[in-house]
Structure 1
């Protein structure tokens, strides 16, 4: 079931059944997010089902979703997804209170976490209030990791507190970028790879959407200390074996906002807020 939030020129489409996703951000009728047109119609209707396996098995619907970090496949302290049948593609419950929809996952036995994603529509965008609670009986250590997928072909601009950018993933290569004073610019390019931005000033812009978020100067962040990560992908002649047979379906830009790594005792929780501002 799709839940729609409307205010002025803005319309948000949420699908709790599919990992609590925000699957549509439409401004004056124009879709800002990338979503997989082979899987979804304009009304966001599809046959949703939990999905697991290797990265090449991931059913990428698109949109905005929350994952646990760090990502990896070497042990229980790393999240071996996507795909993931609970936090990424499992059904969330949903409660609407005016302009806010709060979506809550089932407990995930793999990470010990239960996610809550509260989406609030604003006059000029939306706010994501994210929460992860340790519902297991063991101590865990994770970070919140919010991933927003957008259609490729444009440049990413991000504010910098310091000129600190690192290469994280080079599937077909490392994305090219420039630093101009307090701005990072990642131009459009056909590459499968990821940059980390330890020096982020807490905002990043792509097209009409600007994401803003707090950065804890004393926090320990995943991926070489990166509160912001930028992923690019494009279709390939064959899947990338070195990335679990990842098979990119389109030109996609991901803006990824992370919270600090946090040790959670049973019953403890962590939170992250990200605001999306939409401008013509």
Structure 2
């Protein structure tokens, strides 16, 4: 029997979402952050997110001597707790049309309220900020976890609570450790914006299948991806985190049109004066997803949803679908369909009358007979009877790079 998804509360008003596969730790008081993300099934409960252990304990409570408080200032004043958080974009310090953080006393370091919701099919928590007078925004972050899945949905909302018209984009930032092998895959043609250089711009490479890869490296800098097509995947320390998000053709995005961004940093001998005395505490990679810039009259809102999943392994990611990702893309050669698929829920992969069992988070190596001249569609039939499109197998026309 599939365990239910549930909500727990521990000391310091920390909220935990747990479905026996994933465990998410939320701290409303610290800017509404997700500060722990673990895959607990299979006996492997390693932490996926980077978290500042000098400021917080493993239970996500402040360490003795550190007192969290709302504050403003320069980047050098920022208490970087780590984890996953949401900010408004564009960022900058030149005008009121830019968000001058982090830190700021409301959206980044201010307390959020928490509204838990528990049903037989869902455990959810909505975290909501105060009304920020500078940006005019109130942000909310809704985490949804369902039974039996190794993924969760994050629904973001920004509401204009001011009496003036404002223009912002939602900007979700996920911090992960970058102190070992690994990197970030993005679904994007090779169109890259060098956005910010502290010590240089990160290096990147083009891959087959309209993908880009940014490896871990010792640099302080950011790249933007204006042609990103809707997914990114971070691999490292034996785990893979994928994030799917909508993109809107023709819409205006911040940061020279960037739909996704990758920021890297590492410890330095002295703070970076050119970046507000930023003093990187560790080797960190930020996987960042942006929504479109939206003009909001008083009371109007903009939204952005991310579908995130955690699986073991740190191999390449070729494509991310709503029900799983391809570690090797589906191909047909000599009437055999091959590939490797990692499902995000239990079910059965099916094509051309042939089926194979799939379990959440476990890779399935495919070698199936196919017939006919059309490229076959693969589907995942989950344990509830619902069908999910997993991909289309293509005829092998050339040797993959």
TM-score range, shorter chain: over 0.9
Pairwise CA distance, 1:218: 1.9
Pairing partner for 2:184 from 156, 163, 167: 156
Name the counterpart of 2:98: 78
Which structure would you say has the larger RCO, counting Cα contacts within 8 Å and 6 or more residues apart? 1
**Mapped partners of 2:302, 2:283: distance in 1:** 33
In 1: Cα distance, 2:101 partner to 2:37 partner: 25
Structure 1 range deviating more: 4-13 or 44-53? 44-53
The normalised TM-score by structure 1 is 0.98
Kept in 2, the 8 Å contact 1:172–1:192? The answer is yes
**CA distance in structure 2 between the aligned counterparts of 1:118 and 1:136, rounded to whole angstroms:** 22
Please report how far the alpha carbon of residue 205 of structure 1 lies from its aligned counterpart in structure 2 after TM superposition.
0.7
CA deviation after TM superposition for structure 1 residue 120, in Å? 1.1
Q: Which residue of 2 aligns with 1:219?
A: 251
Which contiguous aligned blocks of 4+ residues in structure 1 show a shift greater than 4 angstroms? none
Q: Which runs of 5+ in 1 are unaligned?
A: none
- In the alignment of these two chains, the number of paired residues is 279
Task: Report matched runs for 1:92-171 at 5 Å.
Answer: 92-98=112-118, 99-122=123-146, 123-152=149-178, 153=180, 154-160=182-188, 162-171=189-198
SS, match of residue 134 in structure 2: coil
- Structure 1 residue 25 and structure 2 residue 37: aligned? yes
1:92–1:106 contact (8 Å) kept in structure 2: yes
Q: Check if 1:65 corresponds to 2:85.
A: yes
Contact 1:232 1:251 in 2 (8 A): yes
Q: Which runs of 5+ in 2 are unaligned?
A: 1-12, 313-401
State how far apart, in whole Å, the 2-side matches of 1:18 and 1:64 are: 11
Contact 1:51 1:59 in 2 (8 A): no
1:5 aligns with 2:22: no
Counterpart contact for 2:216–2:285, Cα < 8 Å: no
Q: Distance in 2 between matches of 1:69 and 1:134?
A: 14
Offset of residue 228 of structure 1? 0.1
Q: Distance in 1 between matches of 2:21 and 2:138?
A: 33
Structure 2 residue 264 is matched with structure 1 residue 232: yes
d(CA) in 1 for partners of 2:22 and 2:139?
26
In 1: Cα distance, 2:250 partner to 2:56 partner:
41
Is 2:82 the counterpart of 1:56? no
In structure 2, what is the Cα distance between the partners aligned to 1:238 and 1:121? 42
Contact 1:12–1:121 under 8 Å retained in 2: no
Higher mean C-alpha deviation, range 79-88 or range 43-52? 43-52
Shift of 1:37: 0.5
- Corresponding residue number in structure 2 for 1:268: 300
2:216 & 2:173 partners in 1: Cα distance? 19
Q: Tell me the TM-score normalised to structure 2 length.
A: 0.69
In 2, the alpha carbon distance for the partners of 1:15 and 1:245 equals: 27
2:222 alignment partner, one of 194, 197, 202: 194
Q: How far does the alpha carbon of each residue in 1:192-243 deviate from its partner, in whole angstroms, 9 at most, with x for none?
A: 0000011112111112100110001121000110010000000000000000
